[in-house]
Amino acid sequence: MLHIDLPTHADIDALVAHRAAPAVSIYVSTTPLTQDAAHDRIELKNLLKAAVAEMEAGDTPKRSIWPIEQAVEAILEDDDFWMHQANSLAIFATPERIRTFRLPNKLTSMVEVSDRFHLKPLIRSVTFPHNAYVLAIGMGSVRLVEVDADLPPQVVKVPDLPKDMASALGRRSHAASTAEGRSGEITSDHALASRYARIVDQALRPVIGGDRRPLIIAATEPMASVYRSVSSHPNTADHVIAGAADQVSEHDLAVAARGILDRIYADDIAAIAGLYATREGQGRATTDVANAARAATFGAVDTLIVDMDAVVTGTVDDDGNVTFTEGADAATYGVVDEIAQRTLLAGGRVVSARRADVPGGGDLAAILRYPA
């Protein structure tokens, strides 16, 4: 099972608001397979060395470097921590504090040193799902399956999850539950299915209640619709895996779930692209980094979609003017990342995506609240 610590909106807001040097952002591509974690620890050690070298080159006082170095080294030496990983690890360190997040999506290993954190990759983790849960539910069985992009699916142990509908309702049959005729039986069937769904939902809450991964329902109708109507999981998917799920293997459920994840991603990207095209015709869209920086500074960006991997180095002043540089150092930062952070501070939405999915195919595309 993936061990995930997704950032909350409050976490991201706090990271966005930070402005003090040195601030070190480290992303490490990791594996949930404990036996392969040694490579990840070596990767983190090398990234830490690069961060220290960059801080020293920028004349950062040793009293500020040492606490960061010691905090990351403590993570490196924590065997228990490395036994429980996901697909990426994000570390944000200052001399006063260190924060870590274990993320479900596969990120490129990198390190950034500045007076602010580099957050585009972290934002990616809460933009689009790469992993999901599948609830395979029918009258004869119910199970929760965790689906990862790179690992075999696993059945998740859920305390208090009923074995089937009969055990959930405490009766062998509901056919005689009403004496009101055929229409009464139909009403009773729906009521009992709803009760069964609520019992299952209640059992799932402690296990996935704080998890942002989609919950995909695999069931026949009307159970699929009944469960979706009572589900308390905020990311219960609109798309379902149709058909009797009782005898479907975890592998086949995972294949179907990955197809649904692709559809969720494609639907969102298509909606953004369509809105961008509309707003572009109204003078309310831009792919120019400098223009987007000024718009974000003055709260004019409604939706920003950025290339999650590109780093355009430089600085952005208080009026939104960009100074581009050819190389990174402790005095510069990712300009597109800064535009994203200013968009978030102004209440806009930031989507971290693949470059091919950014309208115009550039470093960013901004949908504006009013004409520039």
Residues 6+ apart with CB under 8 A from 200: 135, 137, 142, 161, 162, 168, 227
Closest CA to 107 of 116, 93, 120: 120
Residues 6+ apart with CB under 8 A from 196: 162, 165, 168, 169
Cα distances from 49 to residues 72, 89, 195, 323, in angstroms, run 10, 17, 56, 28
Say if CB 311 and CB 108 are below 8 A apart: no
Record the tokens describing residue 332, joined without a space: 């510069």
Cα distances from 86 to residues 93, 165, 359, in angstroms, run 20, 33, 30
Sign, CA torsion 24/362/17/124: negative
Cα distances from 155 to residues 166, 249, 287, in angstroms, run 21, 11, 44
Q: Write out the residue limits of the CATH 3.30.420 domain(s) in the chain.
A: 132-266
Query: What is the per-residue pLDDT for 184?
Result: 47
The angle at the Cα of 29, spanning 25 to 34, to the nearest 5 degrees, equals: 120
Domain 9-125: which CATH number of 3.30.470.20, 3.30.960.10, 3.40.50.2300, 3.40.50.150: 3.30.960.10
The total of other beta-carbon atoms located within 10 Å of residue 258's CB is: 18
Query: What is the per-residue pLDDT for 178?
Result: 42
Domain 282-368: which CATH number of 3.30.1330.30, 3.40.50.450, 3.90.1010.10, 3.30.365.10: 3.30.1330.30
Q: Write out the residue limits of the CATH 3.30.1330.30 domain(s) in the chain.
A: 282-368
Sheet holding 154-156, edge to edge: 154-156, 142-147, 132-137, 215-219, 241-242
Say how far apart CA 230 and CA 1 lie, in whole Å.
Answer: 26
Q: Which fold has domain 132-266?
A: Nucleotidyltransferase; domain 5 (3.30.420)
Query: What is the per-residue pLDDT for 2?
Result: 66
Name the DSSP letter for residue 283: T
pLDDT one digit per residue (tens) for the chain, 372 residues: 567 788 888 899 999 999 999 999 999 999 888 777 899 999 999 999 999 999 999 999 999 999 999 999 999 999 999 998 988 999 999 999 999 999 988 889 999 999 999 999 998 887 777 789 999 999 999 999 999 876 789 999 999 999 999 999 985 444 444 444 444 444 578 899 999 999 999 999 999 988 888 999 999 999 999 999 999 999 999 999 999 988 899 999 999 999 999 999 999 999 999 999 999 999 999 999 999 999 999 999 999 999 988 889 999 999 999 999 988 788 899 999 999 999 999 999 999 998 999 999 999 999 999 987
Say how far apart CA 219 and CA 20 lie, in whole Å.
Answer: 52
Q: pTM of the entire structure?
A: 0.77
Say how far apart CA 364 and CA 316 lie, in whole Å.
Answer: 16
Classify residue 334 as exposed, middle or buried by CB count within 10 Å of its CB (0-12, 13-18, 19+).
buried
Closest CA to 312 of 294, 295, 296, 325: 325
Cα 136 to chain centroid, rounded? 23
Q: Write out the residue limits of the CATH 3.30.960.10 domain(s) in the chain.
A: 9-125
> Residue with structure tokens 């260190």?
98
Report the SS3 class of residue 285.
strand
Query: What is the per-residue pLDDT for 179?
Result: 43
